[in-house]
Structure 1
């Protein structure tokens, strides 16, 4: 069984997780890694490694399909927000090739990438999101009516990697941050990830202060909820969690189950949840395998084994779906030597 991880970037650990899962299952196969950057560290550790076009390139799906055909890929796992919409839009084509695609359907992707509608979407099954406004005028009206107060946060509706985010404390700063966010969207791949124009792709949101949690939900390929993992964030670095502790808090587990069951997505999703001392607020939802899963994996979970079992028609073991609670974990860096001979060009496969 061959597995394709797309946008591997720095996630060397994920390659090892899937390689170990194949070995433990007694299945012969390759972990294939693809990334648009030829010097991505993960391209040095896959069994087969490909440089592919960026997801904004019209040849992106051609490259993905080429790899799947040439290597008879059985499972595809995307690791980056921006590529998920394109892969979801081509799920049927990939499934016709025999590929099990571990990403939500495009309808679900559109819903969870639109932060401006979280309050309506999540509220329908009793999960709370911050108040959000789609333009400066609506936010100013809410401020005048004492519906919200400063500080407010300005950010893209379908944002990723903390791009274009500003916290503001007065109206002048709000207006400036809004225009800056519009410009940032136009200059980044965020503009390609939605049909909305840049001016429609900004939200203004109340700031929630308090404890921060990463919450993961894993469903099978039919959208049946299987597992959740919760980590309390202790330290951040460069937008990523650097240190955390695993928790089995009932309120957060209930939120994860509600989201997994009601969204009915296929595969893995990650959410950021803030607790202000009274309420848990879902701030962000990422429709892909989050990098923070590595913490839960070290704490005992094994979702790569579950993915392989689902793709191979095997039983998913309960032990793969649980991590140990109250385990403190921290990241560390490692260094790989870049050897260009290990990387192939995906677009030359069928030429």
Structure 2
């Protein structure tokens, strides 16, 4: 199968590309930076430099040209920004016989809007979410400390922690932000995959012990936590998810609070592949005809660490 993988400089790219190649797929990679800036370029069959996704028409035309040239059937976008743009151009890819391996329009409306996600679950007895309001609707008695986030933010960009009342009230003048109560606790990320046709699903939770500033776990503890697996399945069914996503929770005062649904592979999807479950192939199967996700596996609690090394190009 010929598959286009975008943003090959992202954290998940190495796992995605090499898993696809191990199954003998033809992988076309692309990125906004030159191929020689990414070692994973060597693992692709061919690589292209493309415009920024913010230049929507140029970006889409570039991807369509690549897909036509290499007879690409599936596109795996690896970043939220690209998914936001591609979501607007589904028909153009469909007309060219190309399937975008992304969530449905309805699902993305929730996953890419933190306030809509809050509204969906705030009265749900199964899923706990932090108290959230639009910045323009802030009340003076909103509990502190608080955290301010762009409503459609990604990778912790634009995030602000607020500890003083005067700083909180200044946020009333900032458009496009939600304010949430700041909950202390450890972050748990769940790699979750679901086939919308068969309703089969599987989840691998991990506690993130060390993270980069933009939220990528580097040292994690794999935890076969039954509650997190069940609540992920509940969310997956409620949103009718199809394919692989990741969900983030904070463990606060003996409860898990949902803080994000990221409609893409997590930065640490390689951790799940490392323990023996192929999230990448299961994701592809969700978009292929007459295929299902790989059967769930048993796995044990274990500590894993991401390692970096230098390579010449």
Instruction: Give the TM-score of the pair, scaled to structure 2.
Output: 0.89
**Does the aligned pair in 2 maintain the 1:136–1:204 contact within 8 Å?**
no
Q: Which of 169, 179, 183 is the equivalent residue of 1:208?
A: 183
CA distance in 1, matches of 2:298, 2:61: 38
CA distance in 2, matches of 1:169, 1:223: 47
What residue ranges of structure 1 are gaps of 5+ in the alignment? 24-28, 183-198, 339-351
> Which is helix-richer, 1 or 2?
1
Partner of 1:14: 16
Question: Per-residue deviation at 1:31?
Answer: 1.2
Instruction: Label 1:105 to 1:315 Cα distance change in 2 as closer, same or farther (>3 A).
Output: closer
Within-5 A mapping of 1:1-351: 1-10=1-10, 11-20=13-22, 22-23=23-24, 29-38=25-34, 39-57=37-55, 58-123=57-122, 125=124, 126-135=126-135, 138-140=138-140, 143=141, 148-176=142-170, 182=174, 199=175, 201-220=176-195, 222=197, 224-239=199-214, 240-313=216-289, 315-316=291-292, 318-319=294-295, 321-322=296-297, 324-338=299-313
Question: Per-residue deviation at 1:330?
Answer: 0.6
Instruction: Label 1:269 to 1:13 Cα distance change in 2 as closer, same or farther (>3 A).
Output: closer
**Does the aligned pair in 2 maintain the 1:215–1:272 contact within 8 Å?**
yes
Question: Per-residue deviation at 1:335?
Answer: 3.0
**Does the aligned pair in 1 maintain the 2:189–2:248 contact within 8 Å?**
yes
CA distance in 1, matches of 2:52, 2:33: 8
Count of matched residue positions in the alignment of Structure 1 and Structure 2: 306
Instruction: Label 1:178 to 1:288 Cα distance change in 2 as closer, same or farther (>3 A).
Output: farther
Question: Per-residue deviation at 1:324?
Answer: 1.8
CA distance in 1, matches of 2:54, 2:198: 28
Q: What RMSD, in angstroms, separates the aligned Cα atoms of the two structures? A: 2.3
**Does the aligned pair in 2 maintain the 1:133–1:139 contact within 8 Å?**
no
- Of stretches 102-111 and 36-45 in structure 1, the one that deviates more from structure 2 is 36-45
CA distance in 1, matches of 2:137, 2:288: 53
CA distance in 2, matches of 1:313, 1:230: 28
CA distance in 1, matches of 2:291, 2:4: 21
CA distance in 1, matches of 2:172, 2:273: 39
Secondary structure, counterpart of 2:138 in structure 1: helix
Instruction: Give the TM-score of the pair, scaled to structure 1.
Output: 0.80
Which digits, 9 at most, give the CA deviation of each residue in 1:131-150, with x for residues without a partner? 1111255232xx2xxxx521
What residue ranges of structure 2 are gaps of 5+ in the alignment? none
